[in-house]
Amino acid sequence: MPPDYTLPFPGPDLAEQELRYDYCYAKIPPEDRAGIVNMAWERGTAAARDVFARYDGEGNFFVIAERSGLSCEEVDKDYVMGDLRYFSDYLSGQKRIRLYTRSIALWAEQNNMDEAAARNLILSHEYFHFLECTALGLTSRLYQVPMLIIGPFKIGRTGIRALSEIGAHAFAHAYHQLLL
Ligand SMILES: [Zn+2]
């Protein structure tokens, strides 16, 4: 998970903002923006409903991860690079998630949140990326823009990374709502 500006629970209204942070944002025609944000948000929400049903309303993502064959490693580290703080990452080739527990503890404190609940929430976000890599396909690839535009020439195609993030936010958000 890249640094988040909108957690603990980014809503659909903040998803558009996430798209704006994408380095490809300027290449997305303005008339397409709302539609692709909705598409990514719906995808995350639908996946949350599926997982909730599949695991009988299980609220602990450490349990869900284990039953899914995904291992979680808790790294005692505050992971800061430049001026950004990272909370976790998903190593797709290895079906492994790393949680940076000191980063998460700081974030939990700032958001007045229980540390265990914060870990669980961040793990749920990463779990969506795991689903993307193992079952759903990458949300970021569902909409593509030219990699390079030079005058009349459009070269290559690239997906929009922010769409995967929006999907993961929606997943975490919807799952939390289902547990209430
Ligand atoms: Zn993420």
Which sequence spans correspond to the domains of the chain?
A: 12-179
The backbone torsions φ and ψ at residue 77, rounded to the nearest 5 degrees and listed phi first, read -155, 140
Alpha-carbon torsion (104, 105, 108, 114), positive or negative:
positive
Q: How confident is the model at residue 8 (pLDDT cuts 50, 70, 90)?
A: low
pLDDT tens digits, 120-144? 999 999 999 999 999 999 999 999 9
How many angstroms does the Cα of residue 16 sit away from the middle of ligand 1? 15
How many angstroms does the Cα of residue 35 sit away from the middle of ligand 1? 20
d(CA 100, CA 108): 12
What's the average model confidence in pLDDT over 74-81?
91
d(CA 52, CA 25): 32
Residue 18 tokens, joined = 């996430």
Alpha helix ranges (H) inside 89-160: 101-110, 115-131
How many angstroms does the Cα of residue 160 sit away from the middle of ligand 1? 13
pLDDT at 76 over 70: yes
Q: How confident is the model at residue 5 (pLDDT cuts 50, 70, 90)?
A: very low
SS3 171: helix
Distance of CA 169 to the CA centre of its chain: 5
What's the average model confidence in pLDDT over 37-56?
97
**Please, how many CA atoms are within 13 Å of residue 136, restricted to the half-sphere of its CB?**
24
pLDDT attached to residue 10: 65
How many angstroms does the Cα of residue 150 sit away from the middle of ligand 1? 31
pLDDT attached to residue 92: 84
